[in-house]
Amino acid sequence: MVARRRNDSAQRSAGQAMRRKRNWQSLAALPTPHRQWVYPHRSRDWWINCVWSSWDDEEWLGNFRMTRRTFCRITRSVAPLMEHENTNMWPSLPVEMRVGMAIWYLANEKCFRTVKQQFGTGYTSVADAVHDFCRAVGEVLFKRVVRFADPIDQVMAGFSRLGFPQCVGAIDGCHIRIMNPSDTSAYMNRKNVASVLLMAVCDSKGRFFSANIGQPGRNHDGFAFRECNFTSAMDRGAFLESNPTQTIQGVDVPTIVIADGAFPMRKWLLKPYSPAHNTLERNFNRRLSKARCVIEQAFGRLKSRW
């Protein structure tokens, strides 16, 4: 009796194994549906027929923070680093569209999901465009834009009109808000917001000619100042090709940079008296503050646009 039960159980197991095998064979024989490697039915009409074809400069300024002429000039500059080759399976996106996706993302606080729906592309296309554009700006545009636009004597004349002679620039730090890249508090600034520190120097017209960014927002302005390339170059006397000296009330004054009280003293850097003990020192602080406002205004324009 026991032997017969065991035999019946073995037969049932063998039958189940045969049925599973036949089922797998039948599934393997079915044709596999073709999977497209590009998501279908994405329309790019908004970019082609609306933005690129009909928007005027007012709409470009309101959405891309620049005129179409400026956009085209930037595109020509970064095109060698952003163009992709066409493949046999799919044509590459136009470089104008890739630049447009990057600037739209940077100028409007959009996420990749919103940008991909707006431009009719995919997540990877948007991410690649943003990263390639930022890399191209650092390699190509940074050196062209962040530099002395006027000769040194004109820059010093501009600061003289502001009441501070022999000055070539004003320096300060500015926190740029970011998403915290880690779970640590290294990037959390004093306002408990994740940021990186931009250390920049501008001329009398508020145009940046030196900038360093990347220090975690937790660091103090004085630490970022000591670590930036501008400070090292000024300490060596290598930043300016010629260091013109002016005699003021019998004192030979070299070229100087002005800053607020958070910065450490240097031979070439002046900051206000803290506290001011007499009328002379208060007058010095007042003039320095008036001239140093150009860097605060420059940061204000930068943040209002971007």
- pLDDT 10s per residue in the chain (306 long)? 545 555 666 666 666 777 776 666 665 555 555 555 555 556 788 888 888 888 998 999 988 989 999 999 999 999 999 888 777 767 788 899 999 999 999 888 778 888 888 888 888 889 999 999 999 999 999 988 898 888 888 999 999 999 888 899 999 999 988 887 776 778 888 888 889 999 999 999 999 999 998 888 888 888 889 888 899 999 888 888 777 777 777 777 788 999 998 898 888 999 999 888 899 899 989 999 999 999 999 999 988 887
**What are the structural domain ranges in the chain?**
45-145, 152-305
* Chain centre distance of CA 226: 22
- Do 153 and 244 form a contact (C-beta atoms < 8 A)? yes
For 287, the token pair is: 């003039």
Task: Please tell me the predicted confidence (pLDDT) of residue 44.
Answer: 81
What does DSSP assign to residue 48?
A: I
Using an 8 Å Cβ cutoff, are 225 and 264 in contact? yes
Rg value, the chain, Cα: 31
Q: What is the pLDDT at residue 206? A: 92
Backbone angles phi, psi at 102, to 5 degrees: -65, -45
Nearest to 267, CA basis, from 221, 288, 229, 236: 236
Q: What is the pTM of this model?
A: 0.77
Are 172 and 260 spatial neighbours (Cβ–Cβ below 8 Å)? yes
Helix (H, G, I), strand (E, B), or coil: what is residue 197? strand
| DSSP H stretches of helix in the chain | 2-29, 45, 52-54, 57-64, 68-82, 95-108, 112-119, 123-136, 142-145, 152-161, 221-227, 229-236, 279-305
Q: What is the pLDDT of residue 186?
A: 81
DSSP state of 140: I
CA-CA-CA-CA dihedral for 236, 292, 143, 139, to nearest 10: 100
CA distance 256 to 63: 39
